[in-house]
Structure 1
């Protein structure tokens, strides 16, 4: 079995946006069972959605570099080949796994290759990546927020505690959060805006909203997944308006 330490950089949003926080770079390190680094992987990804200048500055990536890169589907095809067939995925923080699942959904990429054996290194170290390295007498190598450099540094920590790969406390992606995570704040904002205007927002009216429709289209939500969004809407609406409004909210 091989161990793939992965790191992702995102087209993050400085302020809330209905667009997902898509991946713009993947870096990974492959280790064998002797904890030897045997191969590395790095690729930029051409974004589908508007670029965030804040994210580019944060990651040190230029717009030109990304626009010349290949799309998500092509990068994942190469990455799956890099992973081979027998492996565990390991990351510094479970958010990488979550975002990877979201981007696969957005881009119609099957997720069967994302092994159920997902290990989060932050469960075994204190503080951030640089702090964990310093705590163990190591210096950060390379550039922070470079996907491959971050993956290499995380791999150094894994080599210090190889027993981590035997941990069975795997990260389990929540399909409800995958489908609703990006619209949660929009639901709350929409309900608050209705209250400010002395109105009561129904599910049907929320569903007709331009941003709601855009989110459903971007996330390729099936009917049962739209019902997940509806359940979240009802939960928040009842918190805002009270239980007596249930019939009105469904109107």
Structure 2
């Protein structure tokens, strides 16, 4: 079993738009079962939208416009990346948070490609694993984890391959403290963090008012007017979250 440490950069923006953000760089490091370095993958990707990089992104990443202009599109790069990865039963993907998997799946769908490879790929959220190991709840950056573990950082932050290399060093350092059985697969979500937090706080509020929390009561007293009650997938997901939180506090 190989371990693939993945990092991506995407063309984020500082203004609202209905157009999607896209992956513009993929970097990955392959470790073998002994955690030895085996290989690396790195590629820029020319996006369909916002192909002209804004000054904020160029300053943050150091990516030059010429690099983007000369890059292949997502279809070609993702095909090469999958070939480099090989069969997904032969490796475990590791990411720092869940955003990287989300972006790859979304771009795959945007280009009308088959997403079954990614939907059946196991990945482990190293950020969550690190937080469990440290017994803390607030998110930390890879750079902060490196400093905390007294690992010398090298390379440029916010460049995909360098970030993947640094994340790999964190993984190697804390490997013995991780429960890799907590791997997961990408799952579509229809609610956002604010809505889930609303449900969580509502349970606490209803209990504080000596009321027995129920989904019907929560929907009527809390969610109505704040959540789209016509979105059946969103409501089903929030109800599942409500029941999980209720059982957790029981």
Normalised by the length of structure 2, the TM-score is: 0.68
Instruction: Flag structure 2 segments of 5+ consecutive residues without an equivalent.
Output: 132-139, 196-222, 230-250
* Matching residue of 2:61: 59
Alpha-carbon deviations, 1:199-225, whole Å to 9, x = none?
A: xxxxxxxxxxxxxxxxxxxxxxxxxxx
Match of 2:113 in 1: 109
Call closer, same or farther: CA 1:82–1:163 in 2, change over 3 Å: farther
| Distance in 2 (alpha carbons) for counterparts of 1:35 and 1:105 | 32
* 2:24 counterpart of 1:24: yes
Shift of 1:238: 5.1
Taking only aligned residues, the RMSD between alpha carbons, in angstroms, comes to: 2.5
Q: Match for residue 153 of structure 1?
A: 166
Partner of 1:167: 180
Q: Which runs of 5+ in 1 are unaligned?
A: 185-236, 244-251
2:144 is aligned to 131
Match of 1:3 in 2: 3
SS in 2 for 1:8: strand
- Runs of 4 or more consecutive aligned structure 1 residues displaced over 3 Å after TM superposition: 163-166, 240-243
Equivalence for 1:239: 225
Quote the offset at 1:52 in angstroms. 4.1
State how far apart, in whole Å, the 2-side matches of 1:158 and 1:47 are: 30
Give the direction of change, closer, same or farther, for the CA distance of 1:166–1:80 in structure 2 (3 Å limit). Answer: farther
| Cα distance in 2 for residues equivalent to 1:23 and 1:164 | 31
Q: How far is 1:165 from its partner?
A: 6.8
Q: Counterpart of 1:122?
A: 127
Secondary structure of 2:66 counterpart: helix
The verdict on how the C-alpha distance between 1:87 and 1:9 changes in structure 2, with shifts beyond 3 A counting, is same
Q: For 2:69 and 2:228, how far apart are their aligned partners in 1?
A: 48
Match of 1:94 among 94, 98, 103: 98
Please give the alpha-carbon distance, in whole angstroms, between the structure 1 residues aligned to 2:145 and 2:6. Answer: 17
Q: Secondary structure at the match of 2:225?
A: helix
Taking the aligned partners of 1:120 and 1:42, their CA distance within structure 2 comes to 21
Cα distance, 1:64 vs. partner? 1.6
- For the 8 Å contact 2:129–2:178, the answer to whether it is kept is no
Residues 75-121 of structure 1: CA distance to partner in whole angstroms, max 9, x if unpaired?
A: 11111111112111111111111111111110122222224311111
Decide which moves more: 144-153 or 119-128: 119-128
For these two proteins, the number of residue pairs brought into alignment is 187
How high is the TM-score relative to the length of structure 1?
0.68
